[in-house]
Structure 1
Amino acid sequence: MTGPIVPIEGEVLGQEAMQLFLQQQVGGVSSGITEGWAGGSSDGADPDVFDTMAAIKAMVGGDGYTRVNITATTTWTKPAGTTEVIVVGIAAGQNGAGGGNDGGQGGQGGGHKAQALDPSAFSSLGVVVGTNGAATQFRANGTGGAILSEAVVGGGGAMATQFGYTGTASQAASGGTGGTGFWQSGGRASTGGQNGGASPAATSGSGGSAAAAQSGSDGGTGTGGGSVAASAVVPCGGGGGGGGGGGGSNFLSGTATNGGSGGAGGFPGGGGGGGGGRGRTDVTFGGSGTPGTGGTGGAGLAIIFYR
């Protein structure tokens, strides 16, 4: 509503006032539809209609683009009359490495790449969505065709234009390294796992705690990195998983304890956290614990904008 209904002579609305009121409302709705979609001025527009149209425009990618979010390998058929195609790929994150005596390395996050394609060069796109550290690819005319655009693990962020590549911060983050395990003979204390990295839209996973000295406890498990919805208005990679904590020992029982597991990488493309190192005592007093396993890397994501 753009204005109040003004009563005339004891709550009786005159014919001319009613006509003016209706004209204002119709004009406000019409302006809200037109200006909200075009990103114009909200002056004189119905605010609810204006905001709704702006939100609809954002949901379909803005500027009249239709957006398709793809989370599993498939083939996309180009609609008739399509004159523009822009693809965005985020590679899958690497799994974190398992621990040993020391903590395992965290997995790298998936790279982000946005690129305009020539729609006359294909009738369909084979979309290969990466898993376990693999690239996300857009291929001409099926998943076995020539690669037209590819986002790779650890590849950073890039927006491809006719002038070259522009860097972005939209790539997924890497996982944290696992903590070091206790070593009795070496006089080494266990340490906690490192936190994973954060992306602009996703939080980092926390590293697992170190096994408490002589407590008999295992190293703590790293937490998973934050995720970003496939439908998020701004495509962005997930956070890295936290590394597992290092294992310890129990002098009373003469046994060593296990390293903690790394946290999973967030979707899309977050690197998994590394596993924590095992605790070690003298061989005659129980040997070694089991190293922690690495966290799983986040799966990749593919997005197609077309009009």
Structure 2
Amino acid sequence: MIPAQFDYVRPDSLDQAFRELASDEDTKVLAGGQSLLPLLRLRLAYPSKLVDVARLPELAGAHDRGDHVFVGAMTTHDEVMRSPVVREGCPLVALATATVADPAVRHRGTFGGSLAHADPAGDLPAVVLALDGVFVARSAGGEREIPAARFFVDYLESALLPGEILTGVKIPKLGDGWGYHYEKFHRTAQAWPIVGVAVAVRRTNGAIQEARIGLANMAPTPLRARAAESALQGAELGDQVRQACGEAAEGTAPPADLHAQPDYRRHLARVLTHRAVRTAAGAP
């Protein structure tokens, strides 16, 4: 289909972008366009104006800031997955980003655009949630930080306010002793995961001391598998880990669609969590 008519603006600065956003309440921010453009073509979105911020240099790049890595919102997926700063400081982000869609999408899609779109089936929201990332948003009135646990409000709805632009995400470094893995089940490389699982595990003396698990496409927002995280504390590889991962679907509300029913998604969550935990823990 053909999108409805809209105006297009490419600002030269964030200040100009804020002015454009304030000029019309139906204005939308355009990043890489890999999520928004399909909605426009299907006429599921009707913005009066698009403000293209993809080429603002202050929004791009990954930076080591001591205890965390700051990833600019307009950094492309390809740049994220190849960045030495990301690969060393937050390997789970690099691992998951390398699985996003296909090379064409990864070269155009942006880290911040994917997160601000707030699709619970996306790969990256579950990852940033598992790592307790912090979103940095700016507006004409200043800057504020939003913890990942409060950023995803509902299906395709984030905590960003009108006039705000996501400028980047702070991702804490977990330090030594952690293992990571991202596991998902999907029909094709270009498709959203039917279920995705992001895992970070800290293991000492053969037992798991701490686990962080983010779930994709198991509710209207990405979720932490809190029951499984608690059950994994002190678990040793083998039956204990398998039983603990059986709690992964607790508290979820998976959707039903053409690709899977809720009970199948719950089964996938348990299986994929077990695979991801074993891999992150270094199991043979």
Larger proportion of strand: 2
TM-score computed with the length of structure 1 as normaliser: 0.21
Larger proportion of helix: 2
TM-score computed with the length of structure 2 as normaliser: 0.22
